[in-house]
Chain A
């Protein structure tokens, strides 16, 4: 199975900050990489698919980049509603696997 490793595991930031979360795959997954946001007690929400495509309805401050084994999720200017946990997911091979999550907290 492909292992997905996110860094950092947790992050403190302030409203208005630019934030970058990294996801690394244990082998090349080309661009088969998604990003999800999850708030406490809620189901995840798809933000980015195919590494860099913005899901409909997701604010443009979210962006994704990368290919192969290294990927990033960037939030250009943090808003209060962005404090949540973020997961990457590879869909290159079965089983699809998720990273361990990055918890984004208010500084």
Chain B
């Protein structure tokens, strides 16, 4: 069964930086669109960013543009999210997620999530 394992979450001060990683296994990582989706405590889902299989296209929600960067290393089957200038409102569980084969935005597999807490 496919596996996505996030890491890198933790407590960071406002204005600080953090890099999330997602290790993928048991599927051909290099052929799938990948996403980061977050969920603030007790709140709903918010899509954050995605990246094309070859890394040539990346998209972001407006609230993180210029602060977050999504990247991938297909040789290492890994997805990353570099987060800078963190704000209290970035506090959330961050999920790494895979789109359905041949699709861009329909996520069919999620990691367990990693919690990012931004202290003010």
Contacts and interface: CB of A to CB of B under 8 A. Distances in A.
Given A43-B113, A44-B110, A94-B59, A87 B100 contact: no
Interface of A: 1, 34, 36, 38, 43-46, 49-50, 55, 87, 89, 91, 94-101
Contacts of A94: 59, 105
A46 B46 contact: no
A91 B33 CA distance: 13
Interface string B43-71: 01111000000000001111000000000
Interface in B23-49: 44-47
Nearest to B35: A96
- Nearest 8 pairs between A and B by C-beta? A43-B110, A91-B105, A98-B45, A96-B105, A101-B44, A49-B106, A46-B108, A96-B47
Interface of B: 44-47, 59-62, 95, 97, 100, 103-108, 110-113
A46 B111 contact: no
Contacts of B105: 89, 91, 94, 96
A98 B107 CA distance: 12
Contacts of B62: 1, 95
B106 A100 contact: no
Contact of A97 (B47, B107, B112, B113): B47
A49 to B, nearest CB: 5
Contact of B111 (A43, A95, A96): A43
